[in-house]
Amino acid sequence: MWKMSRTLSVQWTEGAYITGYLHIYSYTSIYGGIFVELVKRNIHMDRVRVQALTQFTLEDDVNIPENKPDVAALNLEKGELLIDEIKPAADYVTVRGRLNFVVLYHTQEEGSNLVVLDGKLPFEEKINLQGVMPTDPVTVEGEVEDITMNMINSRKLNIQSLVTMTARVEELYDEEAPIAIHGDEKLEYRRMPLNVAQIAICKNDIFRLKEEVTLPSNYPNIFQILWSNVSMGDVEFKIMEEKINISGDIHLFILYEGEGEEHPCRCFETTLPFSGVLECHGCREGMLPDIRYHLGQQELAVRPDFDGEERNIGLELVLDIAIRIYEEESLEIISDIYGVSKEIGTVTHKAQLRRLLSKVTGKTKVTDHIHVNGGTLLQLLHSEGVVALEQQSTVENGILLQGSVLVKVMYITGEDESPYGSTQAQIPYQYTLEVPDIAPEDMGKVHAEVEQLQVTMLDGEEMDVKAVLSFSTVVFKNIPVELISQVNVSELDSSKMSNLPGMVIYMVKDGDNLWNIGKQYYVPVDSLREINSLDSDELKPGQKLLIVKGG
């Protein structure tokens, strides 16, 4: 028979999982007028129920629109994956979306030297996801691993892109842990102390940023922006009372044509610090955040200043934030029970609890030289880097990270026919993120980013690249336990009891303890201590104990 007393509840609020009051349950077993009540409490957990990863290639030929000049050479390209529809079915999910691409090329026709072309490639992909149902809330994350543009001729380009998508079903659930037992019958039970990390808040949110930058006075007015790159750095989340403080840096780069007859090409780069507050009901200082962010929607617009000149750059960004906040608590759960005058049986189930193992960050440096084939370096215009985490594995006291940094550089050559050039290189790295006492099943999701990138000219054919890579993760230690879910009361087995002596001298064996001995002879542990005048529970092999039934 089950009953429930209210002291804490769990609720969903706008997609958020927020702990309020704790549910305490009790299970009552009644036998011959004797009842035993097992009191339980919920431990709030989250997990990935099913997950699958797939890679596929998008490829198509793109014609240059009539209003665009011929292509002389390609300079830079980038792509962004947008997911429009996620449709789960039995054991698979269909994903529809598009790859938005932008390419910068230069032309030999009169007028603008640099030209921007954008477009999109639609896709529909089926991901096998064993165990998923049509009603499951499936999330899909997509990454453009690589994008390559090649000239077929001056009016046609070929685009190829390698895309990785991960589909998963995350769920929230409760484990019921026994914390107390009551009843008419004399029972012996022992407790096991546990430090448990429960999920307190689970939700997705967005954080909007609006900034405006004015060009320095020695820069020409903006005629049109040719290329832009926005990235985030040093983003930190701090848990406060009912809110999350967010701070970090916005790194902005633009390549633009200036006003004037020759439309001079100029680069502008700046770093904008930002800070703000995200309301988060239920959070408080001391909780454990595992918060991930992704730079989503970006809008860049040229705006006039007070004099009506095109010198201001308006920036609107959206950070997509996945919020997981945990709370550590010390519990004592009942791990075993036996009866003295009645047979007490238990029904158990396997569970995976966890505690915080480590919240860790680490940095490493990578260096390399990039050689330019053909042409001469006159001036560097722009460089950008993206870190790829290709493999992670547990090693002794750490997580071994392996991958590469893709560095793209655009430069001026000084040659009339090909005034602009670009090159790229992949720089491998290997780094161990220190996590003491980690086991393979404790693996956390590692966030990686390029914190600093510096590219300098060595001579007319070679560049020096230096980068600082930053890694962070939250690792939880898995705790496998057997949780008692039910207690059954019955009469003692008479034949079994008749074979137990009323009094015996027991010789302690290796691995024995008072609990196991008491359980074997249906004798309370306190009685064993008292009869044998024991000051502690420590036993030594060969030690003699007096056991008296009913003592």
Condensed to tens digits (0 to 9), the pLDDT of residues 373-389 reads 766 888 888 888 999 99
For the chain, state the CA radius of gyration: 33
* Phi, psi (degrees; rounded to nearest 5) at 263: 45, 65
211 versus 34: the higher-pLDDT residue is 211
Q: How far apart are CA 432 and CA 313, in angstroms?
A: 40
**C-beta of residue 522 within 8 angstroms of C-beta of residue 549:** yes
CA distance 443 to 392: 9
Q: What is the pLDDT of residue 184?
A: 66
The pLDDT value recorded for residue 15 is 38
Q: How many CB atoms lie within 10 A of CB 314?
A: 13
Model confidence, pTM: 0.84
The answer to whether 176 and 483 are in contact (CB under 8 A) is yes
pLDDT 10s digits, 53-78: 999 999 999 999 999 999 998 988 99
Closest CA to 245 of 220, 268, 276, 283: 276
CA distance 291 to 238: 10
**Contact status, residue 415 vs residue 376, Cβ threshold 8 Å:** yes
Per-residue buried b or exposed e for 498-522, using 16+ beta carbons within 10 Å of the residue's own CB: eeeeeeeebebeeebebbebbbebb
| φ/ψ (deg, to 5) at 440 | -55, -35
Query: What pLDDT, on the 0 to 100 scale, is given for residue 4?
Result: 33
Q: What is the tens place of the pLDDT at every residue in 432-486?
A: 999 999 998 887 889 999 988 999 999 888 999 999 999 999 999 999 999 999 9
Name the residue type at position 363: K
Nearest CA to 323 out of 15, 9, 80 is that of 15
For tokens 């001729």, the residue is 153
Query: What's the confidence (pLDDT) of residue 260?
Result: 78
Is 465 within 8 Å of 508 (Cβ atoms)?
no
The per-residue pLDDT for 29 is 52
Distances (CA, A) of 498 to 460, 492, 502, 549: 98, 10, 9, 11
Name residues whose C-beta falls within 8 Å of residue 289's C-beta, 6 or more positions apart in sequence.
Answer: 237, 239, 244, 323, 324, 325, 326
CB 361 within 8 A of CB 471: yes
* Residues forming a β-bridge with 25: 4, 40
Judged on CB neighbours under 10 Å (0-12, 13-18, 19+), 487 is buried
3-state secondary structure of 282: coil
What residue type is assigned to position 510 of the chain? D
User: What are the tens digits of pLDDT across the range 224-271?
Assistant: 999 999 999 889 999 999 999 999 999 999 999 898 777 778 889 999
* Pairwise CA distance, residues 94 & 125, whole Å: 6
